[in-house]
Structure 1
Amino acid sequence: MTAPGDETHSTSLDLTEPERVDARSAAEIEEDLRSRLLRPGPTDRLWGWLGPLVVTAIAAVLRLVDLNHPTRLIFDETYYVKQAYSLLVLGYEGEWEGEGVNDRFKVGDFSDLSSDPDYVVHPQVGKWLIALGLRLFGADNGAGWRFSAAVAGAATVLVLARLTRRLTGSTLLGCAAGLLLAVDGLHFTGSRIGLLDVFLGFFVIAALAAVLVDREQTRRRLARAAAADLAERGDGRLTDPWGPRTGMRWWLVLAGVLLGLGGGVKWSAIYALAVFGILVVVWDLCARRAIGARLWFGGGVFRGGVPAFLSLVPVAALTYVAGWFSWFATPGGYLRQWAADQLAQNGTVPRSWLPNALNSLWEYHLRAWDFHNGLDSEHNYEAHPAGWILQVRPTSFYWESPVEGDCGSDRCIQAITSLGNPVVWWLGALALLVVLWMAVVRRDWRGWVALAGYAAVYLPWFAYAHRTIFTFYAIALAPYVALTLVLAIAWLGGLLPPLHGRARRPGELPAPEPAGDDALPADAAEDPDADAADADADAAGDDADEVGDADEAARTRRVGWTALAVVCLLAVAAFVYFWPVWTGETISYENWRSHMWLPSWI
C-alpha cells in the first residue's frame, strides 16, 4: 500500500481510472507530433526564391540564345510544329499535302495545309503549347517553333530547385540540382526543339512538387487536430481510432490538374498518376501510425486514400478530356463524327450509352492505342530503355554536311546530338545505387521521392521495349537524375538534416525518477565523494565524445560540399565542351568525331 506523499514514486498506472496520464498542453503535444511527422524546413525565404530564380535565369538564357538555329524544321518538328499551326488555323490537325512542304513552311508559305483531318496519335495539349510560341513569334522561324519548349525547360529547372530545397531543407542543394539540370545536354537539347517530351517532364515534376507540399500541409493539419484531441482527453488515446480528418487537399487537386495536362501531352503521364497516388497513400498510412491512431491502416485508406483518389484521378481525367476542347468544338477533326456516322449508316453504334462526341473520342483512343503498341519499324536511333541511364544510344536531332563556313577543315558540319551530360548521367547511375540503399535499407523517405520519379517516367518503358522507342524519351527523366545525384552526395556527405528527432508517443510518460536507495548505486550510497568524482569523469567523457562526433560530422560535411562543388564544376565544364554538338555550331568533322566518345553515339 502506498503511503501518503509517495504517489509521485509510483511507476504503475491504472488506466481504468479517469486519471490524466499526459498533462501537456495542445501546443506541446503538437510540437511532439510534428517532430515525428515533419523535419524543420529551410527558413531562408528570400534566398530560397532568389537562388533558384538565378539558376532558372541561367537555364533560360542558355535555352533561348540563337533559338532560331537551325532555320528549318528538324527531326519530329515536322509533325508537331505543323500540327500546332493547324490547330491555330483549323482547330484540329489537318493534312499537309504536296512535296517540299517543309521548305515552304519555313518561309511562311502555309498553302499546303488542307482541311482534311490528319490521323495523329498524341493528344493536343503539347501542340497547343507550341502554338503559343507560333502566335507570339510567327510560324516561319525557329524562335516561334521552339519558344514554348525553352520556357518549359527553364520552368522545370525552377520546379526542381524548389522541390529539392523542400526535400533536403537546403537552398544550396536545391540550386545545385537545378544547375545540374540546366547544363544537362539531353534536357537542354529537348528544350530547344519543338517536341512534346519537355512539356510532359514539366507537368510531371510540377505534380510531384504539389504532392510534396500536400504531404507537409496534411501532416501539419494531422498534428494540430490530434494534439487538440489528446490534450482534451489527457489519456494518451485519440477519440477517433482512425485519426482526425484533414480536410480538403487542394494541392492534390492541383497535382491532378497537372497530371491531366501531362496526359494531354503524352499518355505516359498516367503512370505518374498511379505512382504518385500510391506515394500519397503510403505517406498517410505512416503518418496516422506515427500519431498513435489505433486503426491507422483503415484511417490511412479511408481518411487518406479515398479523398486522395478523388482529388487526383477524377480531376486528372476531367482535365485530360478538357484538353481536347478544340477537337470537340470543331466538326472536322479526325473521327470527330464517327459515332454519328455509325448511327446514320447502321442504326447502332458500339458503346451507345456514351454521348456521340465522347464515343468518337473513345474510338480515336482505341486506334491510337493499337498504333502505339504495334509500332515496331526499325530506326537507326532506336534504343532499349536499359541503356538510357548510361546514354548508350543518343538521338541525332540534326545533321547537315557539308556546310559553308570557316571551321579550319575541308569538311564542315553542323550536328545536334541529344546526348545527356556524361558527368550528370554516368555519376547519376552510381548515385541511383546509393539512393536505392538510402530508401530501401535506411528507410529514408526522401530517397523514395527520387525513386518515384524513376518509377513514373522510366520503368514503364520496359513494358514497351518491343516497340520502336528512343533515348530522347528520357528528357522527362532528366530532373530525377539530377535530383538523385544531389541526394546521393548530400546523404553520403552528411548534408541532409535528420528525418526527425526522438519524441514521445502520445500518452508516453517521461521515464520515472528512481526513489529511495534505488536512486544511487550501492557503492555510491556509501561514498558520495567517489560517486561525484565518477559522475564528473563520465560527464567529461561524454563531452569529449560529443566534441569528437561534432568534429567528425563537420569534416564529413566539408567533404560533402567539396564533392558537390567538384561535380557541379565538372558538369559545367562538360556542358561547355559539348556545346557545339548540342547547338548545331559549324565545326569540322574531326572536331565532331572527337566529341563522339563511344561508337554508339555516332
Structure 2
Amino acid sequence: MVWLFTLLVTLGGGLLRWFRLGEPKAVVFDETYYVKDAWTMLMTGEARNWPDTVFLNGAEYSVNDLFASGNTDNWLPSAEYVVHPPVGKWLIALGLKLFGGAGSTVAWRASCAIAGTVAILLLIRVVLRLFHNVSVAMLAGILMSIDGVGIVMSRTGILDIFIMVLALGAFQLLLMHRDWAVRRLREQYAIDSRRRDAEWVPNRANRSKKKNRKNDSPRPFLLRAKGPRLFFSWYRLAATFLLGMATGVKWSGIYFFAAFAVLSVLWDAWNRREAGYYSWFGAGLKEGLLAACYMLPLYVATYVAGWANWFMHSDSYLHDWAAKNPGEGITWLPEGLRSFVEYHREMWIFHTHLDVYHAYRANPLTWPLQIRPTSFYWEKVPTQGLCTLSPNTQCVAAVTSLGNPIIWWLGSLCAIIAIVIAIVKRGDWKIWAVLIGFIGGWLPWAQYLNRTTFTFYSIVILPWMILSICYVFNEIRKAADATLWKWVWGITVGICGLVSLFFYPIWTAMPVPYDFWLAHMWLQSWI
C-alpha cells in the first residue's frame, strides 16, 4: 500500500511536469547554452560555438529562433569554452537522443522532467526512512510535486535539477548506510557484551543527566571493544558515485560531497556510542579516514570520467594548451592533464569573478524566501486559452521560476522551529538530516554574496525545505490526536494546492490575461 501511494503521488507530480512540456516552443533563458551545447556534443562529441544570428535567403535570423523551429545545424566548427562540467549536458543530450532530437522542445527538456519526477519518489522514500510515517511521507511528496521551483526546473533544459536529484539520491543511500550500520552495531554488541573477557567502563555521560528527565538515561557502563567495521558499504560507495556525478554537473556538488561525507562519518561514530561502545570517537575518526581512502578516489575518478570526451577529442577547448605553452602550468604533469588543469583554472577564475549586472540577480541569503525569482520567459501572445475569457486585454505567456510561496515561507519558518525543537529535546540525529541540505546546498553561497547568482539555484535545497516542514509536522503528529493531525495535514495540503493551482499558468507558459499575470506578482521584487 505504501508503494501504491508513493507511485500515485509521483505520477501526479510527473503529470504536472510533462503536461505541455513542449511549451513554450522557444529557447528559454539558459537553454541557449545548455541545450545547444548538448546538441553539438551529441552530434560532434564536444560543445561547439554558435553565432547569435544567421543569414538565410538574404534575411537575418536569430539562431535561437531557428533552433526552436527545427533548424539546428548552424553551429561553428570551433570548440566552445564552457564553464560547467559536461555531465549535465550529456544528460540533456540523452533526452535529445531518446525523445526526438533538437527539433522537439519536449526532447531537450525530457531529461529534466524525468529528474524532477524521480526526485518526488526519492523524497518520499527519504521521509519514510526518517520518520516512518506514511502521512508525513505523502505530505512531502505532494509538496514536492506542486512546488513551483520544482515544476519550472523540471520543464526547462538547464542543469540545476540534476544536482538536486543526484544529491537527494546520494542522501537516501547514506540514510540506508546509517540504518545498515545501526543493525550491525546492535548485532555485534550483542555478541561482544556476552564474552567472558568483556571489559566495561563507567559511562561519564550518565553522571551529567538530570534526574527529572524521562527514562532515557544512558547506559551506566560502556563496552571497551572494537565493534564492527562500518567504513565501507555499497550504499556509501554508490552515494559517492552520485555525488561525483553531481559535481560533474556543476562544481557546487562538491559542497554536498563534503557535507554528506562528514555527516555520514559522524553518524557512524555517534551510533557506535549509542550502541554501547566506549571508544566511539577514536573508532569513528579511524573509520572516517578509512572511508576517505576509497570515497575520495572514487569521487575524483567519477568527476574526471565525465570529461572523457574532452580528452578524446583533439580539437576540444584548450586540449593542446600544454603543447602550445611549454614550461607553463604544472610542468610535471603529462600534457593532457596539464591542459585539463589549465582549463579548470580558467573556469575557477570565471566563477569567482562573475559579478556582472543582471536584472534578475538575487542575493543568496534571500533564496529561501524567494524574494527575487527569475523570469525565464515572458512574451505577449495572440488571444488564446484563458485569454478568451477577457478578449479585450493583452494576452501574455510567462515562465517564472518562483516557488510556491506558502511552501517556501513555511519551510523557512519550520527550519528555525526544527532547530529549537532539537535543542529542547537535547539532541536528535534527524535534525542533521534536515539541516545538511542547507549546509551543503545553500550556506556555501554565503562566501559569494558579490557573485551574480539567481534564485533558481535554490532548487538544490527544495527537498530540505520540505524536510524542515516534515520534521515540525511529525512533532505535531506525535503530540496531537488523530483527528487534529488530519485537519492540520488536510489544511496544509489544501492551501498549498490552491496556491499552486493559482500559480501553475505562470510556471508553464499558459496564455493568460495581463491582469491575471500581474495578480501573481505579490511582491514588487517578483516583477
TM-score (norm 2): 0.90
The unaligned stretches of length 5 or more in structure 2 are 54-61, 201-221
Amino acid at match of 1:417: T
Deviations 1:341-363 (A, max 9, x none): 223xxxx3421222222221111
**Which of 71, 83, 94 is the aligned partner of 1:121?**
83
Any residues of structure 2 matched to 1:238-317 within 5 Å, and which? 241-246=225-230, 248-302=232-286, 304-317=287-300
Q: Does the CA contact (< 8 Å) of 1:96 and 1:114 recur in 2? A: yes
- Relative distance call for 1:368 and 1:491 in structure 2 (3 A) is same
Query: Could you tell me which residue of structure 2 aligns to residue 458 of structure 1?
Result: 442
Any residues of structure 2 matched to 1:255-404 within 5 Å, and which? 255-302=239-286, 304-343=287-326, 348-404=327-383
Q: Distance in 1 between matches of 2:198 and 2:343?
A: 60
Q: Distance in 2 between matches of 1:470 and 1:93?
A: 24
Q: Distance in 2 between matches of 1:247 and 1:262?
A: 22
Residue 472 of structure 1 deviates from its aligned partner by: 0.3
Q: Distance in 2 between matches of 1:492 and 1:376?
A: 44
Query: Could you tell me which residue of structure 1 aligns to residue 214 of structure 2?
Result: none
Amino acid at match of 1:65: F
Q: Distance in 1 between matches of 2:449 and 2:118?
A: 30
Q: Distance in 2 between matches of 1:466 and 1:360?
A: 29
Q: Does the CA contact (< 8 Å) of 1:255 and 1:312 recur in 2? A: no
Q: Distance in 2 between matches of 1:295 and 1:98?
A: 64
Residue 239 of structure 1 deviates from its aligned partner by: 8.2
Deviations 1:209-255 (A, max 9, x none): 11100001012112212221222337464886443323631111111
Q: Distance in 2 between matches of 1:89 and 1:402?
A: 33
Q: Distance in 2 between matches of 1:255 and 1:261?
A: 10
Q: Distance in 2 between matches of 1:600 and 1:239?
A: 59
What secondary structure does 1:94 align onto? Answer: coil
1:449 aligns with 2:428: no
Instruction: Provide the aligned length of Structure 1 versus Structure 2.
Output: 492
Q: Once superposed, what is the RMSD of the aligned Cα atoms?
A: 1.7
Q: Distance in 1 between matches of 2:278 and 2:126?
A: 33
Residue 433 of structure 1 deviates from its aligned partner by: 1.2
Query: Could you tell me which residue of structure 1 aligns to residue 209 of structure 2?
Result: none
**Which of 13, 18, 39 is the aligned partner of 1:64?**
18
Residue 410 of structure 1 deviates from its aligned partner by: 2.7
Query: Could you tell me which residue of structure 2 aligns to residue 90 of structure 1?
Result: 44
Q: Does the CA contact (< 8 Å) of 1:486 and 1:564 recur in 2? A: no
What secondary structure does 1:117 align onto? Answer: coil
Q: Does the CA contact (< 8 Å) of 2:123 and 2:140 recur in 1? A: yes
- Relative distance call for 1:247 and 1:76 in structure 2 (3 A) is closer
Q: Does the CA contact (< 8 Å) of 2:170 and 2:243 recur in 1? A: yes
Q: Does the CA contact (< 8 Å) of 2:356 and 2:452 recur in 1? A: yes
Q: Distance in 2 between matches of 1:93 and 1:270?
A: 23
Q: Distance in 2 between matches of 1:440 and 1:314?
A: 37
The unaligned stretches of length 5 or more in structure 1 are 1-46, 495-552
Query: Could you tell me which residue of structure 2 aligns to residue 133 of structure 1?
Result: 95
What secondary structure does 1:96 align onto? Answer: coil
**Which of 98, 110, 115 is the aligned partner of 1:152?**
115
Amino acid at match of 1:76: D
Which structure carries more relative contact order (alpha carbon 8 Å, separation 6+)? 1
**Which of 450, 459, 467 is the aligned partner of 1:475?**
459
Q: Does the CA contact (< 8 Å) of 2:230 and 2:268 recur in 1? A: no
Q: Distance in 1 between matches of 2:223 and 2:423?
A: 34
Any residues of structure 2 matched to 1:129-278 within 5 Å, and which? 129-136=91-98, 137-233=100-196, 235=198, 237=200, 241-246=225-230, 248-278=232-262
Q: Does the CA contact (< 8 Å) of 2:247 and 2:254 recur in 1? A: yes
Residue 101 of structure 1 deviates from its aligned partner by: 0.9
Query: Could you tell me which residue of structure 1 aligns to residue 64 of structure 2?
Result: 102
Deviations 1:144-184 (A, max 9, x none): 11000000000011100000000001122112101101100
Amino acid at match of 1:410: T
Deviations 1:100-138 (A, max 9, x none): 111221222233212201111000000001001111221
Query: Could you tell me which residue of structure 2 aligns to residue 27 of structure 1?
Result: none
What secondary structure does 2:194 align onto? Answer: helix
What secondary structure does 1:310 align onto? Answer: helix
Q: Distance in 2 between matches of 1:307 and 1:159?
A: 29
Query: Could you tell me which residue of structure 1 aligns to residue 405 of structure 2?
Result: 422
Q: Does the CA contact (< 8 Å) of 1:252 and 1:311 recur in 2? A: no
Q: Distance in 2 between matches of 1:481 and 1:561?
A: 22
Residue 402 of structure 1 deviates from its aligned partner by: 4.6
Q: Does the CA contact (< 8 Å) of 1:413 and 1:589 recur in 2? A: yes
Q: Distance in 2 between matches of 1:139 and 1:475?
A: 25
Most deviating of 103-112 and 194-203: 103-112
Q: Does the CA contact (< 8 Å) of 2:198 and 2:224 recur in 1? A: no
Amino acid at match of 1:205: L
Deviations 1:47-67 (A, max 9, x none): 232222211111111101111
Amino acid at match of 2:158: L
Amino acid at match of 1:385: P
Residue 426 of structure 1 deviates from its aligned partner by: 1.2
Q: Distance in 2 between matches of 1:247 and 1:378?
A: 46
- Relative distance call for 1:438 and 1:355 in structure 2 (3 A) is farther
Query: Could you tell me which residue of structure 2 aligns to residue 543 of structure 1?
Result: none
Most deviating of 233-242 and 268-277: 233-242
Q: Distance in 2 between matches of 1:341 and 1:89?
A: 28
1:586 aligns with 2:505: no
TM-score (norm 1): 0.79
Q: Distance in 1 between matches of 2:452 and 2:424?
A: 36
What secondary structure does 1:399 align onto? Answer: strand
- Relative distance call for 1:403 and 1:376 in structure 2 (3 A) is farther
Q: Does the CA contact (< 8 Å) of 2:352 and 2:451 recur in 1? A: yes
Amino acid at match of 2:526: W
Amino acid at match of 2:523: L
Q: Does the CA contact (< 8 Å) of 2:223 and 2:276 recur in 1? A: no
Deviations 1:24-54 (A, max 9, x none): xxxxxxxxxxxxxxxxxxxxxxx23222221
Q: Does the CA contact (< 8 Å) of 1:439 and 1:448 recur in 2? A: no
What secondary structure does 1:493 align onto? Answer: helix
Query: Could you tell me which residue of structure 2 aligns to residue 597 of structure 1?
Result: 522
Query: Could you tell me which residue of structure 2 aligns to residue 563 of structure 1?
Result: 488
Q: Does the CA contact (< 8 Å) of 1:256 and 1:311 recur in 2? A: no
What secondary structure does 2:376 align onto? Answer: strand
Q: Does the CA contact (< 8 Å) of 1:222 and 1:244 recur in 2? A: yes
Query: Could you tell me which residue of structure 2 aligns to residue 572 of structure 1?
Result: 497
What secondary structure does 1:180 align onto? Answer: helix
Residue 275 of structure 1 deviates from its aligned partner by: 0.8
Q: Distance in 2 between matches of 1:562 and 1:447?
A: 25
